[in-house]
Amino acid sequence: MKLVLAALTTLILSPVMSMAQDVEMGTNLYDQHCAVCHGAEARGDGPLAPALILQPPSLRELAKRHDGFPTVRVVMRIDGSDPLVSHGSPMPIYGPFFEEKDAILKSESGQPIMTSKPIADLVAYLKHIQE
């Protein structure tokens, strides 16, 4: 019975799990939604950065600052489940903009995280640019 349940779970989730993260799509999403604050090179120097109370950090050093890439934290910041007050109000919550097919990412601990495909692509881009 356990083998049957495992097989069914694999069949059901395999289309979702097989969706590879797309760094190029993540780059396009970043340029469109994030660069205005975080900068074209993700160094925290976007054109709106001077107007923010808290300056955006360099997104190129996330792994260095957190002793490994903080996948869960990044997903939660983007989808708004971990809000950040940066300019008198929370960071824009992009979760609703990025709703699409579900995707599963692996957290730092190896646990699955359910998110959307666009957020998974943004995470792929951010992982790709780590220094």
Residue type for 91, please? M
Q: Residue 61: pLDDT above 90? A: yes
Tens digit of each residue's pLDDT (9 = 90 or more) over 82-129: 766 554 555 666 666 667 778 899 999 999 999 999 999 999 999 999
pTM: 0.77
Q: Write down the domain spans for the chain.
A: 20-128
Q: Residue 11: pLDDT above 70? A: no
pLDDT of residue 84: 65
> What's the CATH code, domain 20-128?
1.10.760.10
Rounded to the nearest 10 degrees, how much is the dihedral formed by the CA atoms of 18, 97, 80, 41? 80
116/3 Cα distance (integer angstroms): 29
Distinct helix (H) and strand (E) counts, the chain: 6, 2
